[in-house]
Structure 1
Amino acid sequence: MSNHQEAVAKHRDTEALLAVLDTADRMPSAARLRERSYTLLSLTPGSTVVDVGCGAGRAVAELAERGVHAVGVDPDPWMLAAARERWPAAEFREAGAEDLPFADGSVRGYRADKVFHVLREPQRAVAEARRVLCPGGRIVLTGQDWDAIMIDSDDAALTRTIVHARADLLGAPRAGRAYRNLLLDGGFDEVTVEVHTTVFTDPAMLPLLTRLTEPACAGGAIDRDRADAWLAEQRRRADADRLLIALPFFVAAASAWAVSAKSSPPGGRRDFADTT
C-alpha cells in the first residue's frame, strides 16, 4: 500500500470512529457524564486543565467555557486535525499519556476519558499525571469496562465471544475497574469511584457493533459468516426498536496532595499550594 493509500485509509478510519463517538457524545447520558467529570475536577477559574486523549476536542471546548485554560492532548494527528477544525480557538498538543508536554506541577486538573484501556502500561500514565499536577490538583479518569459490555442477543455465547475477543486486543480492557488501585498505587489521595451505566437503543449505534465484530473476525475468534449473522440479528432488533447495548462507565477521582517536609504518615497533614 502506498503512502497516499495509507493516508486515505487512515482518514476513513478516523471519520468512521468520529461518527461513532459523535453519536455517543450527543446522547444526554454522555453529556451528564462529562458534566460529572468537570464537577469532580473542582475547576478553579484561570487554572490549567489538561484533557488527555482529547480526540475531537469536545471536552476541551466545554472546559474552556467554564473559565479554565483547557489544553487537549492526543497522540493521533488525524484526531487533532479534526479537533482544530472544530474548535479553532482551543489549544491542542500532540503527545501521549505517558509523556505529557508540561512541566512538573504545572497543571491543576487532569482528565482522561476513554483512554486508559488502550494503554499497555496505564501505571506509567498515572505516574505522569502525578508529575504534572500541582499540590492539591485533581485527576478524573472516565472509561468503560470492555469486558463488561452488555448486548441483548438471541445467541448469548456468541455475543460473549465477540465482546471478549474485542477486549483481548486492547492494552488494558479492564482498566476501568482498576482505576482506584491505579490511583492509590500512584500516590493519590481522596480516591473515589463511581459507576454509571449508559444504555443505548438508537440504531445509530449499530456501527459500534460492527467495530466489535471486525477484530473478532481478524483474530480468528469467529468466522465472517457468524459475524454477519449476528450483525443481521442486531439490525433486525434495531428495525423493531429492540436494540439494547449497555456500557458500564467507571468514574474515578482523586487529589494530588503534597506531603510535608516532615513526612507526615498516611492520613496525616498534607500541605498544599496552588501553583497555577
Structure 2
Amino acid sequence: MSNTIVTPQEDDPVSGLIRLLDAVDALPSSVALRAHSYGLLDLAPGAPVVDVGCGVGRAVAEMAEHGAEAVGVDVSEQMIAVGRRRRPGADLRVGDAYALPFQDGQLAGYRAEKVYHELGDPARALGEARRVLAPGGRIVLIGQDWDTFVIDSDHPGLTRTIVHARADTIAAPRAARGYRNLLLDAGFDDVAVEVRTGVFSDELMLPALSGIADAACAAGAITPDQAATWTAEQAGRARDGRLFMAVPLFVAAARRP
C-alpha cells in the first residue's frame, strides 16, 4: 500500500522501493513534513492512532516517540516483515485500508501518506477512516498528484506525454487534488488543504525518472528509443548538477464530527 513515485525496476521491487523510500524519507524536507503531519493530528499522550500504508514503520515509531499509541497497517507482507525486524517494539500489522482492524470509534487519529493514489476507491477508504475514528478524531492525508510532476527537459512535449502516460497507469492518480472534496463527501469537518513541493536536483530520483519513462513505454505511449533518449538526458543532467524535478505534495487535515 505504501508507495512513492515509482517502483524501481529490480529483481526484488519491494526491496528497491524500501531503499528509495529510506532515502527520500531521510531528507530534511521529508522529516519536517512528517513532523508537521503529527502536529496536525493534535494527539494527546496515549492517544490511539493508525498510520495506513505504514511501509516499514518509520512514522509509527516517530509517533510512538511523541507519546501516541501508534499502530501501522500495510497491505505488503514484505514491508511489514522488514519493519518488524527494524523496529521490534512497533505495532505493525498486515491489513487493508478498506477493512481496518479496529472497532468503531476506537481511534483518535488516522494518517495516510502517499497511499490513496494506490486505491481504486479512495471514497470507500475514507468511509472506513470515519468508522474507526471517534468523534473529534483527526485525519491527515499526504500525497502527490501524478499529473502535476514538473520535470525540466530538452524535450517538453515528450516529457508531458511520459508524465501523463505514467499517471494513467495509477489506480487513482489525481486522488490528492481531490482530498478536500473526498473528505467533505465522507462527512468530515474543518477540512484544510495545503501544498508542499519536493524539489530534487541530484541522482536520488534517477530510478524514479527511469521508472516513469519505462512505464510510459510499457503503456505504448512512447517508443523504447524515446524512453532511452529521455532517460539518458535526465542522467546527464544529474551528472552535471542540472536535474530538476518538482513534486507537489498535498496535505489535507480534517476532523470527524
TM-score range, shorter chain: over 0.9
SS of the counterpart of 1:124? helix
Task: Say if 1:201 and 1:241, in contact at 8 Å, map to a contact too.
Answer: yes
Whether 1:106 and 2:93 are equivalent positions in the alignment is: no
* CA-CA distance at 1:86 after TM superposition: 1.4
Aligned to 1:237: 237
* CA-CA distance at 1:213 after TM superposition: 1.6
Aligned to 1:116: 116
Aligned to 2:88: 88
**C-alpha separation in 2, matches of 1:156 and 1:98:** 39
* CA-CA distance at 1:87 after TM superposition: 1.0
Aligned to 1:172: 172
**C-alpha separation in 2, matches of 1:130 and 1:10:** 37
Structure 2 counterpart of 1:169, which letter?
T
1:209-220 map, 5 Å: 209-220=209-220
* CA-CA distance at 1:239 after TM superposition: 0.6
SS of the counterpart of 1:134? strand
**C-alpha separation in 1, matches of 2:80 and 2:138:** 24
Aligned to 2:53: 53
**C-alpha separation in 1, matches of 2:10 and 2:228:** 24
Aligned to 2:5: none
Aligned to 1:151: 151
* CA-CA distance at 1:93 after TM superposition: 1.0
**C-alpha separation in 2, matches of 1:11 and 1:64:** 34
Task: Say if 1:55 and 1:83, in contact at 8 Å, map to a contact too.
Answer: yes
How many residue pairs end up in the alignment? 249
Moved more, 208-217 or 167-176: 208-217
Aligned to 1:66: 66
Task: Say if 1:11 and 1:78, in contact at 8 Å, map to a contact too.
Answer: no
Whether 1:185 and 2:189 are equivalent positions in the alignment is: no
* CA-CA distance at 1:202 after TM superposition: 2.1
List alignment gaps of at least 5 residues for structure 2.
1-8
SS of the counterpart of 1:100? coil
Task: Say if 2:10 and 2:16, in contact at 8 Å, map to a contact too.
Answer: no
Aligned to 2:195: 195
SS of the counterpart of 1:199? strand
**C-alpha separation in 2, matches of 1:13 and 1:23:** 15
SS of the counterpart of 2:51? strand
Deviation string 1:222-264 (CA, Å, 9 cap, x unpaired) is 121111111110011001000111000000000012xxxxxxx
Structure 1 counterpart of 2:73, which letter?
V
* CA-CA distance at 1:11 after TM superposition: 7.0
* CA-CA distance at 1:217 after TM superposition: 1.4
List alignment gaps of at least 5 residues for structure 1.
1-8, 258-276
Q: Give 1 or 2 for the bigger CA radius of gyration.
A: 1
**C-alpha separation in 2, matches of 1:247 and 1:159:** 14
**C-alpha separation in 1, matches of 2:182 and 2:208:** 28
Deviation string 1:178-236 (CA, Å, 9 cap, x unpaired) is 00000000000000000011101121211111221221111111121111111110011
Aligned to 1:129: 129
Task: Say if 1:41 and 1:139, in contact at 8 Å, map to a contact too.
Answer: yes
Structure 1 counterpart of 2:33, which letter?
L
Structure 2 counterpart of 1:116, which letter?
Y
State the TM-score, normalized to the length of structure 2.
0.95
**C-alpha separation in 2, matches of 1:12 and 1:127:** 33
Structure 1 counterpart of 2:176, which letter?
G
Aligned to 2:4: none
Deviation string 1:117-147 (CA, Å, 9 cap, x unpaired) is 0111100000000000001100000001110
SS of the counterpart of 1:35? helix
